[in-house]
Structure 1
């Protein structure tokens, strides 16, 4: 995580202050931490000032984990009912949160808030399967994420870990606003994209395109120069997003085609969260 947890219930996450569980931190005075169970006899005997020393441990606490899901129309691209990387990811995060004794919650919206997909932080049994079904059945519709920005106010005031799941096909000011309004939380951007945009782009021929957010259709004559321009734009878009996220101290995870648990675990271990 980018910051230490502020919860009070014992858990597995590094938290503020010292506690009774976790890794050994240092010795302290019995006067500062009056707990006779933590007295270290050896350290007390060797203390040159004759003080009684107690062991202090790293504090560990539970946290709330949320998914903030973009359900605008463009998020439907590359997702199938029986093979949905976004649903797989959300269910996996819910499962991991419950395994860690944390609570899981979700907000979801596109141009309008989706109260039917909002979930307060909970540890309810069967939650991962429930999340998978709900997300897989609703790929997204409409234009923009104004509803998601509005729903950010539904997140708790207490610092939480928030996975923002989106293709981030938004104007940069909108992304800046989204990250800015999540300032009190630990934020992990999850960039959803499909490799088909690049790998299945023909070198020559007529290509029919459709804007998933507006429904507008257009036929273009694909040729080498246009294909290279589209691919260059896609690469620059990814590089621009990476710079933006790193400027905010938020390295992103690329969710491409399918959810790879091993790759996601490597991302977390490398400092992605």
Structure 2
């Protein structure tokens, strides 16, 4: 068996979960991170008495030290499973998604976090919907199903409904797609996920945007509808093709910047270390 690569992630704010975990929080009294003082009658634990703070208190109260506890968070993947995700270059996009899902689910279990998955094309795919769980091997079975999927959805419209399947608690949500959808539709998806911490993950293959021949007759295919067209490649059209690709990338980055989101581009195979560096940057 191939060893699952572990990755490391974190959230920007304090965790608000009830279960112990690996993330900083502002709750609890008996952790390891000093948060402040409280009167003994408000936090009745004489083991944490602070004599110096008690002597300084102008009202003569006995003061105890409060230490925040580490908490867990929900981690979820909202994935585009439309036809364009079946594109195969050096790697198949769905295989990259499977590797990402397997690694994230394993890492969430290692950190004490719950893991969930919502797969969408024209509808929310029930067979690719995993409610939040702390089962150790949840990501392995899900990844196996993703590797055998032959996507046929003509759009990813159901991404706008994915928030209904996420936990009410603020979660870390990875929105995984090739983002070949209208910007207005993408903005609506991001707005629906706004209560959570969102990390857009763009799965691109270089072969999607590369043109093999300098000039000549070439067949191109629209990945969602399957419509095919013959084009005569020439230098001017090649330049327009590259300019359109650059403009699309900049438009996506602009949309993410307006919402203060830091996207992760995976252009090729999945690299767990690259995702870890994304959170440490």
User: TM-score w.r.t. structure 2 length?
Assistant: 0.88
Structure 2 counterpart of 1:66: 76
Task: Determine if contact 1:141/1:212 at 8 Å carries over to the other structure.
Answer: no
- Tell me, what secondary structure is at the counterpart of 1:116? strand
Name the CA distance, whole Å, in 2 between partners of 1:9 and 1:177.
32
User: Tell me, which stretches of 5 or more residues in structure 2 are unaligned?
Assistant: 1-10
The reply on whether 1:101 has 2:112 as its aligned counterpart is yes
- Tell me, what secondary structure is at the counterpart of 2:208? helix
Please list, as runs of the form range in 1=range in 2, the aligned pairs for 1:45-84 lying within 5 A after superposition: 45=55, 50-78=60-88, 80=91, 84=95
Please list every run of at least 4 consecutive aligned residues from structure 1 whose deviation after the TM superposition is greater than 6 angstroms.
none
Q: Deviations over 1:36-91 (max 9, x none)?
A: 12223444456566442322223421111110010011111136579921111111
Please list, as runs of the form range in 1=range in 2, the aligned pairs for 1:1-20 lying within 5 A after superposition: 1-20=11-30
The reply on whether 1:141 has 2:152 as its aligned counterpart is yes
Q: Deviations over 1:216-272 (max 9, x none)?
A: 1111111111111111111111111111112112111011111111111010112xx
Task: Determine if contact 2:106/2:137 at 8 Å carries over to the other structure.
Answer: no
Q: 2:249 aligns with which of 231, 238, 244?
A: 238
Structure 2 counterpart of 1:30: 40
How many pairs are equivalent?
270
Please list, as runs of the form range in 1=range in 2, the aligned pairs for 1:177-196 lying within 5 A after superposition: 177-196=188-207
Task: Determine if contact 1:73/1:141 at 8 Å carries over to the other structure.
Answer: yes
Q: 2:276 aligns with which of 254, 265, 270?
A: 265
Task: Determine if contact 1:6/1:15 at 8 Å carries over to the other structure.
Answer: yes
Name the CA distance, whole Å, in 2 between partners of 1:27 and 1:167.
49
* Segment of structure 1 superposing worse, 189-198 or 46-55: 46-55
Name the CA distance, whole Å, in 2 between partners of 1:207 and 1:163.
36
Q: 1:153 aligns with which of 134, 141, 164?
A: 164
Name the CA distance, whole Å, in 1 between partners of 2:34 and 2:13.
19
Question: Could you say if the C-alpha distance between residues 38 and 202 of structure 1 is closer, same or farther in structure 2, counting changes exceeding 3 Å?
Answer: farther
User: TM-score w.r.t. structure 1 length?
Assistant: 0.90
